[in-house]
Amino acid sequence: MKIVVMGNNALMGGLIVHYKVLCKYLRNSGHDLLLINVNSSNTSVFEDDEITEISVPYITNSFALKLKKYFRLRKACKIAKAFSPNLFIATGYGHGYSMLAAALPSSTYKFFEEVHFEAHNIPLKLKMVKVFDAIAPQTEGMIEVFKKNVSADKPVAWLPCFSKEYESNNFTDLPPAGGTIKLAYFGRLEWNKGIKQFVSATKEIFKNSDIVLDIYGKGSEAESLQKIIESEGLKQKVKMKGFYKDEDFSSIISACHGVVIPSVDTEGLPLVVIEAMRYGRPILCTTIGAMPEVAGINKAGMIVSGKNAEQLVKNLEVFVQRIKTEGFSAQGIHQVYKNYFSNAAFWKVWEEMLQNPKVYFTAETQLKS
């Protein structure tokens, strides 16, 4: 099948990971690809010249860059139209994605992936709905939420997002729980991720217990988060670790007892949820996005908190107590990952869609009606 795929491949975050892994799976399955990479550095997904890749600027904070982006998009539209694809997959959304979809012929089936759980009737979203043939939320549970919040008469069916593939995907047993309990946070340091709120709400627990928290990531809230850590006297308990290398992730997550995901807004399914399960690590998370849906499957490996400070405090104590009493099974959590959330399991869903995209979306939509 001839497929155009468009997505961001140069920043950090789960959607960028998904885009790169998806492109590799599609290529390895023998599909003929044309990639439209949204970035500001001409970064390619593949290192060879077998796949045509076109870069479109991501940052447009000047008139010159906006002009450059416009002409790059026009070029991309012209090349994509000449490519005569059977399918167009948009792994993000924006004016560029809509422009490309509108330029492609009606014979091309077009869908965009929806990764925000609380989708709304914003003008850009409605424009995407108008020019695409179908919408693909990240999880099954997001389908009804999308239909409820967005005025769309288009087919809606779920397609999962892939996670990063490391050389070592094997789980390890949890470290002994007799001494210090080490927790970890992985992700961007932004308001919606809730890590600053989490540290503020649970500071007394960290001060008066044997729990430590390592924070991996960067973002606009890094400086204010560091000030909270210092002003509250938490430097020995809560540590900012910055970025980590992919090759170090296995040893980092294997050394911790659990992962915290305290998001407070704008989430679908954070890929760190899947990465934690891959390594058999229990998860303490909020009720934002699709995380409760995953917890319904991974009942033995997740504790879902609320969205306010009191619930975060209460559930952190429950989470740590369960770790200390060996109430989590690393092997059991990893098995849930293998069965339901591994890239191999996700690819089966994508393969089903690729057999006949129009039939897949229409059938799934009718099934959910």
Do the domain assignments include residue 120?
yes
**Rounded Cα distance, 123 and 130, in Å:** 11
If one counts the domains in the chain, the total is 2
- Is residue 184 within 8 Å of 178, Cβ to Cβ? no
**Rounded Cα distance, 96 and 38, in Å:** 9
Q: Do both 285 and 187 map to the same domain?
A: yes
- Is residue 9 within 8 Å of 46, Cβ to Cβ? no
The amino acid at residue 36 is I
Cα-flanking dihedrals φ and ψ of residue 331, to 5°? Answer: -65, -40
Do the domain assignments include residue 337?
yes
Q: Do both 59 and 122 map to the same domain?
A: yes
Do the domain assignments include residue 360?
no
Q: Do both 154 and 200 map to the same domain?
A: no
Q: Do both 146 and 282 map to the same domain?
A: no
In a 10 Å sphere around its CB, with 0-12 CB exposed, 13-18 middle and 19+ buried, how is residue 230 labelled? Answer: exposed
Q: Do both 78 and 185 map to the same domain?
A: no
**Domain range spanning residue 148?**
2-159
Residue 340 tokens, joined: 């339901």
Q: Do both 105 and 239 map to the same domain?
A: no
Q: Do both 186 and 152 map to the same domain?
A: no
pLDDT score, position 106: 95
pLDDT score, position 369: 47
Last residue of a domain, one of 128, 159, 190: 159
pTM for this model (two decimals): 0.88
Do the domain assignments include residue 176?
no
Do the domain assignments include residue 131?
yes
Q: Do both 112 and 227 map to the same domain?
A: no
Q: Do both 185 and 142 map to the same domain?
A: no
Q: What is the CATH number of the domain that holds 45?
A: 3.40.50.2000
Helix axes 14-28, 343-355, angle to 10 degrees: 60
The amino acid at residue 232 is E
Closest CA to 149 of 195, 116, 108: 116
Do the domain assignments include residue 211?
yes
**Rounded Cα distance, 47 and 269, in Å:** 29
Lateral strand order in the sheet of 211-216: 238-242, 211-216, 181-186, 258-261, 283-285, 302-304
| pLDDT tens digit at each of 369 positions of the chain | 999 999 988 766 788 899 999 999 999 999 999 999 998 777 888 987 789 999 988 776 788 888 888 899 999 999 999 999 999 999 988 889 999 999 999 999 999 999 876 666 688 888 899 999 999 999 988 888 888 888 778 999 999 999 987 766 577 888 888 789 999 999 889 888 889 999 999 999 999 999 999 999 999 999 999 999 999 999 999 999 998 887 888 899 999 999 999 988 767 888 889 999 999 999 998 888 888 888 888 888 888 877 766 777 889 999 999 999 988 999 999 999 999 999 999 999 999 999 999 999 987 555 554
Do the domain assignments include residue 295?
yes
Q: Do both 142 and 103 map to the same domain?
A: yes
Q: Do both 151 and 215 map to the same domain?
A: no
Do the domain assignments include residue 136?
yes
Q: Do both 96 and 203 map to the same domain?
A: no
